Chains A and B, each alone.
Chain A
């Protein structure tokens, strides 16, 4: 397997304000870790430089009016919500992030690499058709998905495992059966949406899957969701490619969220996704960085773990340093798992009409 890493030092450039949590420090330690591990010298890894997205790429997802607003505000500076400002020159950084996702997807589709991890900033999954939110401006993954479809791919699955609900992505594809959106997120939590009852509308009904999980959910919960829902869903949907909104704020050291996934958990989850993708869509996975604010104890280890899994490297030593063990004990909640089982059975009831794998298991 060859894993492409889309990265450019300009991904460090974007700053909303000097002390905003979505900051360049997020990637600095990760890049240190990758450099120290000699990742870029490995034959299984290819570093790919992002190309900025074109206006036309963006307009496949967002409205002309919204794009114009971002362009204008990038000259004067502006504000979207309480924690999403528009610093000057934003649009260049946002276009390079969206363009990075497209560059990665093209590399996969052209068979330059098997899969790709786009280490871009700013993130995108809260950005809807005509508005940004939650540190996001352009929906990088959605723009990339539409680009892939414009190149002839029919069905694409988006797995959004960021701790926050990918409400922007949900909105964009809510009525579209050609894109299966599956979001695992802490609930109740920002942005408030993401109930499992929201399964899409019109033709898209049944193609929007929300997996809300309580704070304290650990590796076990994610493993359960993979086996019970995500993998069978993908097997039945047979996508031409899988896009992952790879938020890494579900790590147990994340200061902004309450989930309890470990670096080994992330790496294992990505390994499962790679095996899945191998069996249904020629291994095509394009993962795009979303959130993740545990810059020291989380991101360097989770990002490395994801890349190691995508490149087929040995992931047995992917873990956090021992000093974080106490935090893990505090973060994991034993109450979470039963709640998730209950949520899943509720979800299955609603989705049974749409998905055969649910009916098949229930008839046994």
Chain B
């Protein structure tokens, strides 16, 4: 059995897939526990938590103390002593007293620790962590090395965001584990991650909704090239699929680059719960009247012009002309954005897809399809996702050092390039297997990047340094197909 949960901005969607697909929608107001209780333990549960995390990430910022270990180079705020070189050697030690001085009387809500080249040797970050953990608990401290890739400024930023959400992720893990200990998080690329890995790099979970929608829409429709129109409560998201896969992009938050990749989507700030005052407004003011709210919304407007959603009689406070105008404006806004993609086919998902997609498709002069269970495609997508990993690997034959996403692994002499890739592939496969990935899902481990050069000293080759990125690509689990 596969179960998926997507906590959206209004509702929580649940999908349970065994011999057939069953989907449910419960209001967020009922609480996560209620949603969890609908899933019988025993199967695999994947949960997409992007909404509660997005609120923290994009909401009012918490005080985060950053401790930077930059060593030589450009200037960064919050610098302490210590340096790791580009080869991953510790070339300057940290000063424990300096860290203690900073920590004494520290009022920040969380601490972010980031060292330059820590992805090649995490020892200094770990040493600082040890000292900081005398003052803060683990869920308040984030370190940068598990993020894995070079780019110190972006890693600092990502680590600060991680420090901000780590506590929340930790609370979620505890809460979910009580009900279903065997569960995964859906990441921003649509792959699954074990709770432990997510806790090391919580930003993996940022904005996972478009990714779940992409997986779900593909699973339900099996259409390779299309534009998904996901009509949610607060927003409408456009997610393009190319050859059955979404497009990825680097996430920018507060104007700064992060080291998070997420499924590319265009967000339109109108959804079923967008309230209608003099005009349709780009925000939510409680539920639709049809679902017990106070102010009329887009959903109510649809009821006024003929739909029968929820308690539709309550929608009738809205004037028919205004309802028509609101729907008109909504369609216009969405279709304008859709035209930019010049899609061949539209796949509608979300709970209003059935009511709106045919009009949208007609205006966009294209075909629209609303597959079965489209209303909860996001939860279906979560349920059928597979464990995915992206591992940055650095190998230095002279130092006999091998790091995977900043963590040291046993070094092994390799005969040649193929041998090295084979060994690294095995390590990555083991990580995925330990997280619970089935064999079929980890057969295909891809080399996304490979670069290697010789170390030459005095006209002799003395060593070889290799950087590579291996990945278990996100997508749909073979077991679910």
Q: Is there an interface contact between A25 and B86, defined as CB atoms closer than 8 Å? A: no
A84 close to B (CB within 8 Å): no
One of B30-38, B231-239, B403-411, B449-457 at the interface? B449-457
Q: Is there an interface contact between A37 and B460, defined as CB atoms closer than 8 Å? A: no
Partner of B453, one of A12, A19, A21, A323: A12
One of B3-11, B72-80, B338-346 at the interface? B72-80
B257 close to A (CB within 8 Å): yes
Indicate with 1 or 0, residue by residue over A307-326, a CB within 8 angstroms of chain B CB atoms.
01000011011111111000
Partner of B92, one of A23, A41, A322: A322
Chain A, residue nearest B71 (CB): A321
Q: Is there an interface contact between B257 and A41, defined as CB atoms closer than 8 Å? A: yes
Q: CA–CA, A319 to B79, complex, Å?
A: 15
B87 close to A (CB within 8 Å): yes
Q: Is there an interface contact between A37 and B454, defined as CB atoms closer than 8 Å? A: no
Nearest CB of B to A21, in Å? 6
Contact residues in B for A263 (Cβ distance below 8 Å): 72
Contact residues in A for B421 (Cβ distance below 8 Å): none
B62 close to A (CB within 8 Å): no
Q: Given contacts A41-B257, A296-B87, is CB(A23)–CB(B73) below 8 Å? A: no
Q: Interface residue count for B (Cβ, 8 Å)?
A: 30
Q: Is there an interface contact between A296 and B85, defined as CB atoms closer than 8 Å? A: yes
Q: Given contacts A25-B454, A25-B455, A28-B453, is CB(A37)–CB(B72) below 8 Å? A: no
B91 close to A (CB within 8 Å): yes
A125 close to B (CB within 8 Å): no
Q: Is there an interface contact between A41 and B454, defined as CB atoms closer than 8 Å? A: no
B465 close to A (CB within 8 Å): yes
Q: CA–CA, A91 to B75, complex, Å?
A: 40
A283 close to B (CB within 8 Å): no
B70 close to A (CB within 8 Å): yes
Q: Given contacts A263-B72, A318-B72, is CB(A38)–CB(B153) below 8 Å? A: yes
Q: Is there an interface contact between A317 and B153, defined as CB atoms closer than 8 Å? A: no
Contact residues in B for A20 (Cβ distance below 8 Å): 456, 459
B152 close to A (CB within 8 Å): yes
Q: Is there an interface contact between B461 and A38, defined as CB atoms closer than 8 Å? A: no
Q: Is there an interface contact between B151 and A304, defined as CB atoms closer than 8 Å? A: no
Interface residues of B in 153-211 (CB under 8 A from A): 153-154
Contact residues in B for A308 (Cβ distance below 8 Å): 74
B83 close to A (CB within 8 Å): yes
Q: Given contacts A308-B74, A316-B75, is CB(A23)–CB(B454) below 8 Å? A: yes
Among A21, A33, A36, A41, max chain B CB count under 10 A is at A36
Partner of A314, one of B74, B455, B460: B74
Interface residues on A, range: 20 to 34
Q: Is there an interface contact between A38 and B154, defined as CB atoms closer than 8 Å? A: yes
Q: Given contacts A21-B456, A25-B455, is CB(A317)–CB(B154) below 8 Å? A: no
Q: Is there an interface contact between A37 and B455, defined as CB atoms closer than 8 Å? A: no
Partner of B91, one of A21, A41, A322: A322
Partner of A323, one of B91, B117, B458: B91
Among B72, B92, B152, max chain A CB count under 10 A is at B72
A32 close to B (CB within 8 Å): yes
Indicate with 1 or 0, residue by residue over B113-130, a CB within 8 angstroms of chain A CB atoms.
000110000000000000
Q: Given contacts A25-B454, A323-B91, is CB(A37)–CB(B75) below 8 Å? A: no
Q: Given contacts A19-B460, A23-B454, A29-B86, is CB(A35)–CB(B92) below 8 Å? A: no
Chain B, residue nearest A25 (CB): B453
Q: CA–CA, A101 to B332, complex, Å?
A: 51
A185 close to B (CB within 8 Å): no
B420 close to A (CB within 8 Å): no
B150 close to A (CB within 8 Å): yes
Nearest CB of A to B430, in Å? 27
Q: Is there an interface contact between A321 and B453, defined as CB atoms closer than 8 Å? A: no
Q: CA–CA, A304 to B459, complex, Å?
A: 26
Contact residues in A for B72 (Cβ distance below 8 Å): 263, 301, 317-321
Q: CA–CA, A267 to B345, complex, Å?
A: 56
Q: CA–CA, A120 to B150, complex, Å?
A: 22
Q: CA–CA, A323 to B82, complex, Å?
A: 12
Q: Is there an interface contact between B86 and A300, defined as CB atoms closer than 8 Å? A: yes
Contact residues in B for A21 (Cβ distance below 8 Å): 456, 459
A62 close to B (CB within 8 Å): no
Q: Given contacts A301-B72, A317-B75, A321-B83, is CB(A36)–CB(B150) below 8 Å? A: yes
Q: CA–CA, A316 to B73, complex, Å?
A: 9
Interface residues of A in 237-279 (CB under 8 A from B): 255, 263
Indicate with 1 or 0, residue by residue over A1-27, a CB within 8 angstroms of chain B CB atoms.
000000000001000001111011100
Q: Is there an interface contact between B154 and A37, defined as CB atoms closer than 8 Å? A: no
Q: CA–CA, A19 to B75, complex, Å?
A: 36
Chain A, residue nearest B462 (CB): A19
Nearest CB of B to A300, in Å? 6
Q: CA–CA, A255 to B456, complex, Å?
A: 12
Q: CA–CA, A4 to B364, complex, Å?
A: 43
Q: Given contacts A317-B70, A321-B92, is CB(A19)–CB(B456) below 8 Å? A: yes
Interface residues of B in 2-31 (CB under 8 A from A): none
What would be 10 A-B contacts, judged by CB atoms less than 8 Å apart?
A: A19-B454, A20-B456, A20-B459, A23-B454, A36-B116, A41-B153, A41-B154, A296-B87, A317-B75, A321-B72
The 7 A-B residue pairs with the shortest CB-CB distance, nearest first, are: A321-B91, A38-B153, A314-B75, A32-B86, A36-B150, A35-B150, A319-B72
14 further contact pairs, Cβ within 8 A, besides A28-B465, A296-B85:
A12-B453, A19-B459, A25-B453, A28-B453, A32-B86, A33-B73, A33-B86, A36-B116, A36-B150, A36-B151, A41-B151, A296-B86, A314-B75, A317-B70
